[in-house]
Amino acid sequence: MSASSFQLLKTSRDSMARRGRLKLPHAVVETPVFMPVGTQATVKTLSPEELQDIGAPIILSNTYHLHLRPGEDIVAEEGGLHQFMNWPRGILTDSGGFQVFSLSSLRKISEEGVEFRSHLSGEKRFLGPEDSIRVQNALGADIIMAFDECPPYPADDEYVRRSLERTTRWARRSLSAHRRVEEQALFGIVQGGMNKELRRQAAAELTELDLPGYAVGGLSVGEPKSLMYEILAYTTPFLPTDKPRYLMGVGSPDDLFEGVLRGVDMFDCVLPTRIARNGTVFTRRGKLVIRNAAYARDHEPLDKACSCYVCRHYSRAYIRHLIKAEETFGIRLTSYHNVYFLVNLMHQIRAAIESDSLIAFKNEFFREYGFITADADV
């Protein structure tokens, strides 16, 4: 028996958007879904109960960070990440690859894996596919990711090709190293940079492994949005329709729409909690910088169109006061609201897929939010 099962409930008539249901050991996830990020075994400022109130069925946590601190053995001693952080629903851990490349210094890539220096202690460490999977098996998330390299943007095709081929070999080694197949679903990651032929090749080789899900990695790394959408739309058709598709690290409201319209089922991003800490919140009428003096005497909720806990109980003036006074309850409130905003947006997107009105909903949302509607090929 495998750890996950995916049911494709509906495919849109007028786009690649899909409505699905992903069953995991700790959650039934209605897709498309946005996964809040809990890098260090906590979604910054929020409690597990708040995340449940918000309606998040699954969160992401980071293998690289938890491996360095507190260490997967300490987490495993408590029975795994779910117990450690008191989160009863779904968890996805990434492979650690992305952080090894983006956070650590002096990394040395070989066929075996990556030697790097910890961004915390400076000490020399090594992470390869077997290590990543061993750590992820110890953490015990519902979904784990194959170890990969995410090439930078821009990168020359030859580098991307060699990196990609190694990533595919690492995916095979990740699968061989996986010891908890019945409890944790291992997803592969399609790389290939901005090169369509390499994306096709990556998808073809990876899908041979018949994994329970596939991610598209290496996008949203600095390329223009139009290029990201183009590569994404080109790549997803090479992935099996009966498996969930996960677009890594993407989560601005416009990208969620554009990703769904190109056949993506799962998203994650630190954006809602990161901008919340700077006192910026999402609203249906665009982003709002609550620190601004304009809101000092504004007794309206953050977003009049929102019915979250924060918008039902607190004013802009109060939240601005808290943030100006450097009270952490302020960033709790902005974080709660922002995560709710994206989780609730996905709820609305799912409803729009069901009623075949996603493009109309997107146009309405973009107009109200202030996005220029992309004239993209969806």
> What residues act catalytically?
94, 268
HEC readout, the chain: CCCCEEEEEEECCCCCCEEEEEEECCEEEEECEEEEECCCCCCCCCCHHHHHHHCCCEEEECHHHHHHCCCHHHHHHCCCHHHHHCCCCEEEECCCHHHHHHCCEEEEECCCCEEEECCCCCCEEEECHHHHHHHHHHHCCCEEECCCCCCCCCCCHHHHHHHHHHHHHHHHHHHHHCCCCCCCEEEEEECCCCCHHHHHHHHHHHHCCCCCCEEECCCCCCCCHHHHHHHHHHHHHHCCCCCCEEECCCCCHHHHHHHHHCCCCEEEECHHHHHHHCCEECCCCCCEECCCHHHCCCCCCCCCCCCCHHHHHCCHHHHHHHHHCCCHHHHHHHHHHHHHHHHHHHHHHHHHHHCCCHHHHHHHHHHHHCCCCCCCCC
Say whether residue 372 binds a copy of itself (CB under 8 A): no
Say whether residue 84 binds a copy of itself (CB under 8 A): yes
Sign of CA dihedral 17, 18, 19, 20: negative
Q: Kindly state the smallest distance separating residue 26's Cβ from a copy of itself, in Å.
A: 16
Say whether residue 334 binds a copy of itself (CB under 8 A): no
Q: Kindly state the smallest distance separating residue 72's Cβ from a copy of itself, in Å.
A: 12
Say whether residue 24 binds a copy of itself (CB under 8 A): no
Nearest to a copy of itself of 221, 281 (CB atom): 281
Q: Kindly state the smallest distance separating residue 297's Cβ from a copy of itself, in Å.
A: 6
Say whether residue 47 binds a copy of itself (CB under 8 A): yes
Say whether residue 351 binds a copy of itself (CB under 8 A): no
Stretch that binds a copy of itself, among 17-25, 79-87, 162-170, 280-288 (CB under 8 A): 79-87
Per residue in 323-361, is it b (16+ CB within 10 Å) or e — as a string? beeeeeebbbbbbbbbbbbbbbbbeebbebbeeeebbeb
Nearest to a copy of itself of 68, 143 (CB atom): 68
Q: Kindly state the smallest distance separating residue 60's Cβ from a copy of itself, in Å.
A: 15
Say whether residue 46 binds a copy of itself (CB under 8 A): yes
Q: Kindly state the smallest distance separating residue 53's Cβ from a copy of itself, in Å.
A: 10
Residues 56-75: x where in contact with a copy of itself by CB under 8 A, - otherwise, as a string: ---------x---xx---x-
Say whether residue 77 binds a copy of itself (CB under 8 A): yes
Nearest to a copy of itself of 120, 351 (CB atom): 120
Stretch that binds a copy of itself, among 110-118, 196-204, 221-229, 292-300 (CB under 8 A): 292-300
Nearest to a copy of itself of 243, 320 (CB atom): 320
Say whether residue 82 binds a copy of itself (CB under 8 A): no
Q: Kindly state the smallest distance separating residue 109's Cβ from a copy of itself, in Å.
A: 27
Does residue 285 contact residue 302 with C-beta atoms inside 8 Å? no
Nearest to a copy of itself of 226, 278 (CB atom): 278
Strands 185-190 and 124-127: unpaired
Nearest to a copy of itself of 214, 314 (CB atom): 314
Binding-site size, a copy of itself (CB under 8 A): 35
Say whether residue 299 binds a copy of itself (CB under 8 A): yes
Q: Kindly state the smallest distance separating residue 117's Cβ from a copy of itself, in Å.
A: 19
Distance CA 151, CA 219 (A): 10
Stretch that binds a copy of itself, among 80-88, 121-129, 180-188, 206-214 (CB under 8 A): 80-88
Say whether residue 307 binds a copy of itself (CB under 8 A): no
Distance CA 302, CA 282 (A): 8
- Catalog residues that contact a copy of itself under the rule CB under 8 A: 40-42, 44-47, 65, 69-70, 74, 77-78, 84-86, 296-297, 299, 313-315, 317-318, 320-322, 324-325, 327-332
